[in-house]
Chains A and B, each alone.
Chain A
Amino acid sequence: MAMTNLEKYDKAFMVNLKVKKEELPGLKYQGIASWDSVGHMDLISDLEEAFGIMMETVDVMDFNTYEHGKEVLAKYDVKIE
């Protein structure tokens, strides 16, 4: 069965930032060692690939929490649910 958008979204976090599913809520940019600027660019690249979008620079910088990231993606018509 195909993955839902939420599953794809979570997977990108778990793979790139090396976190478990239960750690995702409240996760913040620079809040853990692996979500630094290097981890961030890897995460963004993966999300772009998963959803076939290309984010603008301002949105890349605005993408700063697990929750807010969903709102940023909504600007590109990607609904995380």
Chain B
Amino acid sequence: MDYAQILEREPYKVGKEEKERLLYERLSWLTQYHREHCADYKKITDGLGYREGMGTSSLDIPMMPVRIFKERELLSIPRDRVFKTMTSSGTTGQQVSKIYLDEETSRNQQLTLARIVSEFTGQSRMPMIILDCPSVIRNRAMFSARGAGILGFSMFGSKRIYAMDDDMHLNVEELRAFLEKYQGRPILLFGFTYVVWKYFYQELRRSRERLDLSEGILIHGGGWKKLQGEAVSREEFKERLKEACGIQRVHDYYGMVEQTGCIYMECECGHLHASTYSDVIMRRMGDFSPCEAGEKGVIQVLSMIPTSYPGHSILTEDEGILLGEDDCPCGRKGKYFEVTGRIRNAEVRGCSDTYEQK
């Protein structure tokens, strides 16, 4: 099935049965496609015990441990068709994932992101404040996850301004002038959770400056790991930001560079939502069998997009809990869930060892 046909469907209106049919059809096709176009992928999936024609549902699609993208260069296209390479934001000394995009996959990622985000922001673009510094997108050939996120979201902005200079100092005066110019209009804000907290919220509080962002919509992502030391919960994050600048609409999202485009947006009820174009399966640590709703497990992510690299089914190193499907009080269909954190190091190694030995 062509991805364009899948993308014609609304992001949050496809119910469980149709979703499974779409998922299974597209992901089976992608599995076959990547086995034919990426020798390493074929070897790995053979090693995982995958046999063609086996399996009856999306649960049976073989999953790649996310760290494989750090250890190997996996592509299903000739190198001369790569036009963008994206990397994960590893800390110094850590290996980073390398994800290879051709024109088609990159375009489908952008179109998908637009479909999902427009559900929360509307079709019109709006003045946008990027809560980061301009230097994160300076190396145009090789984008980090942070740069890629900013660029991906930039298309929702009409006029754009960076909130910080390259030393990560908040430009309060420029922001104030920007807000004055677009007074009374909705303003989009985008940034990484940790950067928003540390360089925006804390700086506002420290300097006792006040900005009026009551018309703002903040979308932030990148995870809570770095904030755990400061014990900031999602509720507190929202509450404190509201105090500091009056912002009412704040949406977290879950996503990763290995599956760009298919982000999981937080709804008004505080739940992360899978859209029509992707899905999550929580798996038990011991045997990787699927969890029941309410049971904590490792998160497997499925994306119907990637054709340039074999990343349509990935076992992450995050833990989460499925909360329900098709029945969130916000009215959106699809699975909704929460992310509870990272799996512990020893366990991570444990689960990737299991894969290597097979």
Binding site for B on A (CB under 8 A): 30, 33, 36-38, 41, 45, 48, 54-58, 60-61
Contacts of A54 in B (CB 8 A): 124-125, 158
- Given B111, B123, B151, which contacts A38 in the complex, CB threshold below 8 Å? B151
- Nearest CB in chain A to that of B138: its residue: A38
> Quick check: A61 and B151 within 8 Å, CB to CB?
no
- Given B107, B114, B158, which contacts A45 in the complex, CB threshold below 8 Å? B158
- State in angstroms the CA–CA spacing of A33 and B123 once bound together: 29
> Quick check: B158 and A57 within 8 Å, CB to CB?
no
Instruction: Say yes or no: A58-B114 contact (C-beta < 8 A), given A38-B140, A45-B159.
Output: yes
> Quick check: A60 and B155 within 8 Å, CB to CB?
yes
User: Can you add 17 more A-B contacts, CB < 8 Å, to A37-B151, A38-B151?
Assistant: A33-B140, A36-B140, A37-B154, A38-B137, A38-B140, A41-B155, A41-B160, A45-B158, A45-B159, A45-B160, A48-B158, A54-B124, A55-B125, A57-B114, A57-B155, A61-B110, A61-B155
B183 close to A (CB within 8 Å): no
- Given B83, B118, B154, which contacts A41 in the complex, CB threshold below 8 Å? B154
> Quick check: B140 and A57 within 8 Å, CB to CB?
no
Contacts of B118 in A (CB 8 A): 57
Nearest-neighbour CB distance to chain A for B265, whole angstroms, equals: 15
- State in angstroms the CA–CA spacing of A30 and B151 once bound together: 14
> Restricting to B141-176, which residues have a CB under 8 Å from any CB of A?
151, 154-160
B103 close to A (CB within 8 Å): yes
Contacts of B111 in A (CB 8 A): 61
> Quick check: B124 and A56 within 8 Å, CB to CB?
yes
> Quick check: B151 and A60 within 8 Å, CB to CB?
no
Contacts of A33 in B (CB 8 A): 140
The interface bits of chain B over 119-140 (1 if a CB of A lies within 8 angstroms of the residue's CB, else 0) are 0000111000000000001001
- State in angstroms the CA–CA spacing of A48 and B159 once bound together: 10
> Quick check: A58 and B123 within 8 Å, CB to CB?
yes
30 A–B pairs (Cβ distance < 8 Å), ordered by A: A30-B83, A33-B140, A36-B140, A37-B154, A38-B137, A38-B140, A41-B155, A41-B157, A45-B158, A45-B159, A45-B160, A48-B158, A54-B124, A54-B125, A54-B158, A55-B125, A56-B123, A56-B124, A57-B123, A57-B155, A57-B156, A58-B114, A58-B123, A60-B125, A60-B155, A61-B107, A61-B110, A61-B111, A61-B114, A61-B155
Contacts of A60 in B (CB 8 A): 125, 155
- State in angstroms the CA–CA spacing of A11 and B237 once bound together: 45
The interface bits of chain B over 95-120 (1 if a CB of A lies within 8 angstroms of the residue's CB, else 0) are 00000000100010011001000100
Contacts of A30 in B (CB 8 A): 83, 103
Nearest-neighbour CB distance to chain B for A51, whole angstroms, equals: 13
- State in angstroms the CA–CA spacing of A45 and B140 once bound together: 19
Contacts of B110 in A (CB 8 A): 61
- Nearest CB in chain A to that of B151: its residue: A37
Nearest-neighbour CB distance to chain A for B279, whole angstroms, equals: 24
- Nearest CB in chain A to that of B124: its residue: A56
Nearest-neighbour CB distance to chain A for B9, whole angstroms, equals: 16
- Nearest CB in chain A to that of B157: its residue: A41
- State in angstroms the CA–CA spacing of A57 and B125 once bound together: 6
Nearest-neighbour CB distance to chain A for B149, whole angstroms, equals: 12
Nearest-neighbour CB distance to chain A for B108, whole angstroms, equals: 11
- State in angstroms the CA–CA spacing of A56 and B351 once bound together: 45
Contacts of A58 in B (CB 8 A): 114, 123
Nearest-neighbour CB distance to chain B for A52, whole angstroms, equals: 12
- State in angstroms the CA–CA spacing of A21 and B310 once bound together: 41
- State in angstroms the CA–CA spacing of A77 and B140 once bound together: 33
Nearest-neighbour CB distance to chain B for A34, whole angstroms, equals: 9
- Nearest CB in chain A to that of B107: its residue: A61
- State in angstroms the CA–CA spacing of A55 and B159 once bound together: 12
- State in angstroms the CA–CA spacing of A56 and B83 once bound together: 26
Nearest-neighbour CB distance to chain B for A54, whole angstroms, equals: 6
